[in-house]
């Protein structure tokens, strides 16, 4: 199906209104040549209709010679903004940036947010944006879960497949994603609906077993056989399995950087309109597959960079891996039982 331009504009008006855009605000539309022109136009028209002062910052695309694939999360850290101080100043001048080219996981994004500028990432296809149009109910559910996670000192994950993972917490903040940037200095991503934090440096340990059907990003593949990851002192030390384990091992070793094996953000999905099946209906180049990151009751873990929260690991290789049917405990509270959100009650959607 296809969203028409009028609908897309109305949706952007709703999301920018939730993001506190009004006649007192300036909105920068950040783009590059690969941005979705429909998204750029809709964001521009919506911001103008809300009375904001709107401008566009277009950056020549940046390609690192070792980057592979078109998924913008596959190569993190350096972006088209890296080193472009003039453009960064132009962006820091805005109250809100609609990012249609992807600054996520870059130091520049953190520098811009520190000035109080808000950033809303929107790089998924318009039809995916439409299916997961953010609501204030999404926000309240995600914040209810965050109230539990931000106090926690331990996250444990178990599954029938054999996962048995422990991550001491407290060194890093909890990050929420509910789809709109409504607070000064906030980054958010439309579409989303999940939350995460990072394990204390060098302390995550145990085993994570990817069962058939679990999702590997940016490969955009469903595991067809089990992959077993051994984690010691915060790093993946062994990757067992068949062809897919070999593929993952080969891909990660390609970066020739021991930091790629560090455990990065860990959390769970709270978006009931995100679907585990959606990735199978899209091409690999259709955005970054937020359905996989946000589907209700997933355990989302990742490897690689933790610069987003002031960590020392700046590595370009970022894997986001979504597991189904896990039991996730935050301290002694079971928040997800076999892939079903069970607590806190205020975070449940059904
Ligand atoms: O929304 C996102 C997207 C990618 C990622 O790694 C984190 N959050
Ligand atoms: Fe990630």
**DSSP string of 16-74, one letter each residue:** HHHTT-STT-EEEEEE-TTS-HHHHHHHHHHHHHTT-EEEEEE------TT--SS-TTS
Ligand 2 center–CA 29 separation, angstroms: 23
Contacts of 332 (CB under 8 A, 6+ apart): none
Q: At what angle do helices 5-18 and 37-49 cross, to 10 degrees?
A: 60
Q: In the prediction, which pLDDT does 162 show? A: 98
User: Is 349 exposed, middle or buried, given 0-12, 13-18 or 19+ CB atoms closer than 10 A?
Assistant: middle
- In the sheet where 194-197 sits, what is the strand order? 175-177, 194-197, 263-269, 299-303, 319-323, 215-217, 221-222
Q: Choose among 280, 281, 279, 308: nearest CA to 294.
A: 279
Ligand 2 center–CA 22 separation, angstroms: 31
Q: In the prediction, which pLDDT does 299 show? A: 98
Structure-block tokens of residue 115: 């000035």
E strand or H helix that includes residue 217 = strand 215-217
Which residue has the least CA distance to atom 4 on ligand 1? 73
Atom of ligand 1 nearest to the CA of 121: 1
Q: Choose among 285, 159, 253, 287: nearest CA to 212.
A: 159
The binding-site residues of ligand 1, defined as CB within 6 angstroms of any ligand atom, are 73, 104, 177, 189, 192, 293, 302, 320
- Asked if residue 309 lies in contact with residue 206, where contact means CB atoms within 8 angstroms, the answer is no
- In DSSP terms, 154 is beta-bridged to 168
Q: In the prediction, which pLDDT does 202 show? A: 95
- Asked if residue 228 lies in contact with residue 207, where contact means CB atoms within 8 angstroms, the answer is yes
From 290, 308, 319, give the residue whose CB has the most ligand 1 atoms within 8 Å, as the site to mutate: 290
What's the farthest any 2 CA atoms get from each other in the chain? Answer: 57
Q: Choose among 84, 76, 86, 26: nearest CA to 50.
A: 26
> What SS3 class is residue 99?
strand
Q: In the prediction, which pLDDT does 310 show? A: 82
* ipTM of this complex: 0.95
Tens-level pLDDT at each residue, the chain (350 residues): 999 999 999 999 999 999 999 999 999 999 999 999 999 999 999 999 999 999 999 999 999 999 999 999 999 989 999 999 999 999 999 999 999 999 988 889 999 999 999 999 999 999 999 999 999 999 999 999 999 999 999 999 999 999 999 999 999 999 999 999 999 999 999 999 999 999 999 999 999 999 999 999 999 999 999 999 999 999 999 999 999 999 999 999 999 999 999 999 999 999 999 999 999 999 999 999 999 999 999 999 999 998 888 888 889 999 999 999 999 999 999 999 999 999 999 999 97
Ligand 1 center–CA 87 separation, angstroms: 23
- Asked if residue 122 lies in contact with residue 100, where contact means CB atoms within 8 angstroms, the answer is yes
Question: CA-CA distance, 241 to 227, in Å (whole number)?
Answer: 5
Atom of ligand 1 nearest to the CA of 189: 1
Q: In the prediction, which pLDDT does 350 show? A: 74
**Protein residues near ligand 2, an ion, with CB under 5 A:** 302, 320
- In DSSP terms, 7 is beta-bridged to none
* Residue given tokens 């597991």 in the structure block: 323
Q: Choose among 303, 307, 309: nearest CA to 253.
A: 303
Give pTM, 2 decimals. Answer: 0.97
- In the sheet where 187-189 sits, what is the strand order? 53-58, 26-31, 96-99, 118-121, 187-189
Q: In the prediction, which pLDDT does 311 show? A: 84
């Amino acid at each position: 199906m296809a969203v028409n331009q009028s609908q897309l504009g109305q949706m952007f008006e709703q999301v920018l209104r939730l993001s506190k855009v009004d006649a007192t605000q300036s909105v920068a539309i950040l783009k590059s040549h690969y941005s979705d022109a429909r998204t750029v136009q809709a964001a521009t028209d919506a911001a103008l209709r809300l009375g904001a002062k709107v401008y566009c910052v277009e950056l020549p695309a940046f390609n690192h010679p070792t980057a592979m694939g078109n998924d913008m999360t596959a190569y993190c850290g350096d972006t088209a903004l890296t080193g472009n101080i003039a453009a960064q100043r132009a962006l820091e001048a805005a109250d809100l940036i609609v990012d249609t080219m992807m600054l996520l996981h870059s130091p520049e994004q953190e520098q811009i947010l520190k000035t109080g500028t808000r950033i809303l990432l929107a790089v998924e296809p318009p039809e995916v944006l439409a299916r997961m149009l953010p609501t204030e109910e999404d926000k309240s559910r995600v914040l209810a879960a965050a109230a539990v996670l931000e106090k926690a000192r331990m996250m444990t994950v178990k599954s029938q497949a054999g996962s048995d993972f422990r991550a001491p917490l407290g060194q890093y903040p909890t990050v929420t994603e509910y789809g709109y940037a409504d607070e000064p200095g906030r980054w958010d991503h439309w579409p989303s609906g999940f939350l995460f934090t990072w394990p204390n440096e060098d302390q995550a340990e145990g085993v994570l077993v990817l069962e058939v059907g679990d999702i590997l990003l940016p490969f955009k593949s469903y595991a067809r056989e089990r992959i077993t990851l051994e984690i010691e002192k915060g790093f993946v030390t062994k990757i067992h399995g068949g062809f897919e384990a070999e593929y993952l091992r080969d891909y990660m070793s390609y970066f020739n950087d021991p930091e790629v094996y560090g455990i990065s953000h860990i959390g769970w999905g709270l978006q009931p309109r995100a679907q585990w099946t959606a990735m199978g209906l899209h091409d690999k180049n259709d955005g970054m597959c937020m359905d996989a990151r946000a589907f209700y009751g997933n355990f989302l873990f990742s490897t690689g960079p933790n610069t987003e929260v002031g960590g020392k690991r700046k590595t370009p290789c970022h894997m986001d891996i979504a597991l189904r049917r896990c039991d996730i405990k935050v301290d002694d509270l079971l928040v997800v039982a076999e892939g079903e959100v069970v607590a806190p009650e205020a975070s449940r959607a059904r």
